[in-house]
């Protein structure tokens, strides 16, 4: 079984293609079910955001290519998608997933939405029954890593999405947004998002004016605000502290003389114009007026990018943390993957012990020299002690080799001990799950789980990168 991640993102594909491959949150579960039906796919998760569509699978080596799913589900020519697709396997896939969830691979590094989107995808995949032990372990680790990167670096300290930049600017002008009036002129998606952010941060009344009054009413209803007729635009604008415009008007609808009138009626109280429209709705000359602040889409984006640049250093720290986490994850999975070998070795040793003991007891019995129950128990204890002592060093060596990710050494020890297990365990192990699950069960039954846990500590163990950091 191997972990594979296939996808397109803002770096590899245009928005046109990303739009065609996008899956609405409400359809994620059903899409994941379809993906699970693909030959050889055992576990699956689909992440679909405005900047990326990624498919994470845990699949058999001979599984059908993910392109088949894309072609069938989106009814798209695979040749159209292929040049834009990237594929990561095993450790690379884990690293990419950690980077995505930690927002290090985002268009705007450090943006906070992505982790929530990964969690949404995880919930949808779970509902579709597409998350089993492998992805469960990987995704839980992913969430922890993403939270760690966010909390231990300052990667999310400055706002870098358009809506959050608008909120930050409004804070810089008004101090608090409590009771500030927001006027949405035009009902675009981005202006709606900006207004939503402002309201979430305490803004008061929301006015909405749109050429289609019904649309204005609908949007105003969402904010419990007031719909204004487009003709009454200028009469209401003077009341607003923040005006967000996104109409499709070919000429500016707010000019300097309008702003002067608004300022007069507001006794000089500042007005913040957020112009998201292209072509622009607000005459740039307005920004020259005392008390008027105008930010258009380019301004907002440049602020966001500037913030993003300052995150570069923090991102480097985040990358280093991800590397440590990937290495740790590899060790963890590697350590788990030798469990079947350990069990097999113990089984062989136990078989030998049992056989030799039976043979010896039979021989003594035949000679009429049968052992008493007490003597029999002592001999059994002696044999068990000997096998355990003999197994101690080989087991230690195989665990160490697995932890170091030294597949060749694991293989050599396996050969030397004559273990006849097929396949390679860890990243890319074809029978890893079943073997590990049954082996863990056997070990537990044999009372070995405790010692195994000691040997292969859980993810919050002292050798975890975060624990090391803390102890320092």
Partner 1 sequence: MFLLWLRVAAVLYAAASVAAFPAVLYGRPGWRRIALPLAAGAFFFHFVSLTEMLVAAHHWAPVGTREVQSLLSISVCFAFLLIVAFYRTISFGIFALPLALLLALPTALGYDRGGTASPMAQSGWLFLHISTMLAAYAALFFSLLASLLYLLQERRLKQKNRIGFLTWLPPLDTLNRIGSSMLLIGFPFMTAGLLAGSLIAQHRVGAAYFLDPKILLSFAMWLIYLLMIFVQRSSGLRGRRAVYLSSFAFLVVLSVWAANQFSLVHRFAAP
Tell me which stretch binds partner 1 (CB under 8 A): 96-104, 207-215, 287-295, 325-333: 287-295
Work out which of 26, 224, 231, 267 binds partner 1, going by CB under 8 A: 267
299 belongs to the binding site for partner 1 (CB under 8 A): yes
**Where in 382-441 is the site for partner 1 (CB under 8 A)?**
none
Work out which of 89, 260, 287, 376 binds partner 1, going by CB under 8 A: 287
Cross-strand pairs, 275: 245, 296
141 belongs to the binding site for partner 1 (CB under 8 A): no
Three-state secondary structure along the chain?
CEEEEEEEECCCCCHHHHHHHCCCHHHHHHHHHHHHCCCCEEEEEEEECCCEEEEEEEECCCCCCHHHHHHHHHCCCHHHHHHHCEEEEHHHHHHHHHHHHCCCCCCCCCCCHHHHHHHHHHHHHHHCCCCCHHHHHHHHHHHHHHHHHHHHCCCCCCCCCHHHHHHHHHHHHHCCCCCCCEEEECCCHHHHHHHHHHHHCCCCCEEEEECCHHHHHHHHHHCCCEEEEHHHHHHHHCCCCEEEECCCCCCCCECHHHHHHHHHHCCCCCEEEEECCCCCCECHHHHHCCCEEEEEHHHHHHHHHHHHHHCHHHHHHHHHHHHHHHHHHHHHHHHHHCHHHHHHHHHHHHHHHHHHHHHHHHHHHHCCCCCCHHHHHHHHHHHHHHHHHHHHHHHHHHHHHHHCCCHHHHHHHHHHHCCCCCCCCCCCCCCHHHHHHHHHHHHHHCCCHHHHHHHCCCCCCCCCHHHHHHHC
Work out which of 82, 229, 269, 354 binds partner 1, going by CB under 8 A: 269
Closest to partner 1 by CB, 311 vs 399, is 311
151 belongs to the binding site for partner 1 (CB under 8 A): no
Work out which of 291, 423, 430, 457 binds partner 1, going by CB under 8 A: 291
Tell me which stretch binds partner 1 (CB under 8 A): 192-200, 292-300, 379-387, 448-456: 292-300
Closest to partner 1 by CB, 175 vs 462, is 175
Find the catalytic residue in 15, 19, 39, 50. Answer: 50
Closest to partner 1 by CB, 272 vs 427, is 272
Nearest approach, Cβ of residue 291 and partner 1 (Å):
6
Nearest approach, Cβ of residue 173 and partner 1 (Å):
5
Closest to partner 1 by CB, 29 vs 296, is 296
Q: Which backbone phi and psi does 121 adopt, to 5 degrees? A: -65, -40
**Where in 305-344 is the site for partner 1 (CB under 8 A)?**
306-307, 309-310
Tell me which stretch binds partner 1 (CB under 8 A): 228-236, 245-253, 266-274, 314-322: 266-274
171 belongs to the binding site for partner 1 (CB under 8 A): yes
302 belongs to the binding site for partner 1 (CB under 8 A): yes
Active site residue 50: yes
303 belongs to the binding site for partner 1 (CB under 8 A): yes
175 belongs to the binding site for partner 1 (CB under 8 A): yes
Nearest approach, Cβ of residue 407 and partner 1 (Å):
47
52 belongs to the binding site for partner 1 (CB under 8 A): no
Nearest approach, Cβ of residue 299 and partner 1 (Å):
5
Nearest approach, Cβ of residue 193 and partner 1 (Å):
20
152 belongs to the binding site for partner 1 (CB under 8 A): no
| Distance of alpha carbon 85 from alpha carbon 66, whole angstroms | 10
Residues forming the active site: 50
- Residues that bind partner 1 in the complex, under the rule CB under 8 A: 169, 171-176, 266-270, 287, 290-291, 293, 295, 299, 302-303, 306-307, 309-310
């Amino acid at each position: 079984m191997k972990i594979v991640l296939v996808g397109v993102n803002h770096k590899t594909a245009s928005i046109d293609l990303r739009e065609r491959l996008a899956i609405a949150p409400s359809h994620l579960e059903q899409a994941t079910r379809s993906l699970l039906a693909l030959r050889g796919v055992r576990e699956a998760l689909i992440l679909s955001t405005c900047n990326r569509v990624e498919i994470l699978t845990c699949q058999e080596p001979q599984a059908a290519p993910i392109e088949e799913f894309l072609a069938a589900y989106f009814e798209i020519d695979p040749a159209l998608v292929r040049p834009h697709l990237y594929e990561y396997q095993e450790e690379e896939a884990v690293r990419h997933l950690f980077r995505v969830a930690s927002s290090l691979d985002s268009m705007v590094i450090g943006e906070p939405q992505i982790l929530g989107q990964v969690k949404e995808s995880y919930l949808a995949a779970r509902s579709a029954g597409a998350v089993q032990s492998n992805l469960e372990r990987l995704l839980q680790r992913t969430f922890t890593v993403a939270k760690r990167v966010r909390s231990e670096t300052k990667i999310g300290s400055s706002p870098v999405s358009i809506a959050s930049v608008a909120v930050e600017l409004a804070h810089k002008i008004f101090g608090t947004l409590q009771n500030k009036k927001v006027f949405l002129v035009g009902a675009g998606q981005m202006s709606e998002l900006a207004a939503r952010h402002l309201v979430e941060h305490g803004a008061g009344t929301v006015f909405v004016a749109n050429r289609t009054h019904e649309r204005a009413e609908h949007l105003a209803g969402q904010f419990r605000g007031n719909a204004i007729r487009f003709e009454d635009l200028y009469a209401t604008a003077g009341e607003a502290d923040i005006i967000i415009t996104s109409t499709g008007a070919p000429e500016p609808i707010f000019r300097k003389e309008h702003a002067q009138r608004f300022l007069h009626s507001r006794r000089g109280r500042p007005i913040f114009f957020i112009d998201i429209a292209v072509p622009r709705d607000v005459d740039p000359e307005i920004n020259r007026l005392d008390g008027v602040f105008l930010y258009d889409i380019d301004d907002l984006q440049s602020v966001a990018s500037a913030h993003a640049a300052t995150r570069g250093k923090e991102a480097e720290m985040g990358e280093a943390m991800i590397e440590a986490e990937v290495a740790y994850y590899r060790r963890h999975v590697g350590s788990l993957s030798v469990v079947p070998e350990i069990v097999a070795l113990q089984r062989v040793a136990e078989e030998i012990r049992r056989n030799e003991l039976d043979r010896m007891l039979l021989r003594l019995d035949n000679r009429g020299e049968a052992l008493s129950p007490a003597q029999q128990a002592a001999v059994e204890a002696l044999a068990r002690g000997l096998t355990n002592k003999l197994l101690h060093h080989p087991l230690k060596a195989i665990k160490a080799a697995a932890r170091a990710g030294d597949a060749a050494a694991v293989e050599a020890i396996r050969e030397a001990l004559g273990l006849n297990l097929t396949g390679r365990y860890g990243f890319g192990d074809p029978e890893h799950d079943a073997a590990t699950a049954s082996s863990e069960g056997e070990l537990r039954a044999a009372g070995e789980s405790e010692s195994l846990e000691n040997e292969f500590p859980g993810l919050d163990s002292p050798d975890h990168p975060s624990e090391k950091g803390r102890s320092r």
